[in-house]
Amino acid sequence: MSRRDFHRATEAERRHDLIEATLDCIAEAGLQGATVRQIADKAGVTAGLIRHYFASKEVILQEAYKVLIARLTEKAKNLDGTPEERLSSFIFVNLTEPVANSRSLSLWAAFISRVSVDPALAAIHREGYLSFRQELEQLLADFFVARGVAADPVRDRTLAIAMNGILDGLWLEGCLAGELFGEGELVAIAFSSIEALIGHPIKAPTSTDMDREYRDALRIHHR
């Protein structure tokens, strides 16, 4: 029974590793599998160290949730190109790897199931949600301006809600049962639904492979 070898790390490193280990544990075994011992084990430290960096287990879960939200939304921010390209990329990014996969969903659902129970998580969630939707609202506003359509904040809000809903739902379906769908099928559905919703065609993202792929799928029901 030898002692675990002592290794000092910077605070940033340790916190990052511990949070990452927490997410891994949740993804692999659900929230119940994320015990301080499991987390510590996965991070290669002993359980006591967690309490040295986080006031309680609740706190590390909250931090992990923040990281997860950031990871799920960061790809959708910082998009570049014309308003149309950005809107198009926004749709695409949210329905493909690395945002859309079963691990993301497991993590997301685990936290969501506690959002209505834990006020701290609820606050984190709401902030993430509003920021995501505002991003989308701005994207839509820019899109309409670029198309020469009059500004209309109410319309943009409603469309953002609708689009967010559609993206969430298709993301969900893809994560839950991705193997039931053809490659690019969900993206194609998203494009055609959203085009229909906002009443304007949207060019696919520049990636030509993907482009062809879901444009093909699109034809399935846009005959």
Partner DNA sequence: GCATTTGTTATACGCTTGAATAACTGCAAG
Partner DNA sequence: CTTGCAGTTATTCAAGCGTATAACAAATGC
Report the interface residues with its own copies, using CB under 8 A.
Answer: 28-33, 102-103, 105-106, 109-110, 112-117, 125-126, 129, 154-155, 158-159, 161-162, 164-173, 176-177, 181, 185-186, 189-190, 192-193, 196-197, 199, 220-221, 223
Biggest CA pair distance of the chain: 73
**Which CB atom, from 5 or from 209, has the smaller least distance to DNA?**
5
Residues found in the chain: 223
Q: Using only C-alpha atoms, what is the Rg of the chain? A: 21
Least separation in angstroms between CB 18 and DNA:
9
Please say whether the beta carbons of 215 and 204 come within 8 A.
Answer: yes
CB-side exposure of 138: number of CA atoms within 13 Å?
12
**Which CB atom, from 30 or from 142, has the smaller least distance to its own copies?**
30
Least separation in angstroms between CB 2 and DNA:
7
| Residue 120 near which of its own copies, DNA, none (CB within 5-8 Å, type-dependent) | none
| Residue 52 near which of DNA, its own copies, none (CB within 5-8 Å, type-dependent) | DNA
d(CA 220, CA 223): 6
Least separation in angstroms between CB 27 and its own copies:
8
**Which CB atom, from 51 or from 155, has the smaller least distance to DNA?**
51
Say whether the peptide bond before residue 201 is cis (omega within 30 degrees of 0).
Answer: no
Identify the residue whose tokens are 């967010």.
164
- Among residues 16, 20, 51, 75, the one that binds DNA under rule CB under 7 A: 51
**Which CB atom, from 49 or from 120, has the smaller least distance to DNA?**
49
46 lies in the site for DNA, by CB under 7 A: yes
Reading the block at residue 54, the tokens are 């986080």
d(CA 223, CA 176): 28
Identify the residue whose tokens are 């998580």.
121
| Residue 64 near which of its own copies, DNA, none (CB within 5-8 Å, type-dependent) | none
If we measure between CA atoms, which residue out of 154, 150, 143, 153 comes closest to residue 194?
143
- Among residues 21, 36, 72, 91, the one that binds DNA under rule CB under 7 A: 36
97 lies in the site for DNA, by CB under 7 A: no
Least separation in angstroms between CB 160 and its own copies:
10
Contacting residues for 48 by C-beta, under 8 A, at least 6 apart: 40
CB-side exposure of 142: number of CA atoms within 13 Å?
16
Least separation in angstroms between CB 8 and its own copies:
34
Q: Which residues are near DNA by CB under 7 A? A: 1-9, 11, 14, 34-38, 44-52, 56-58
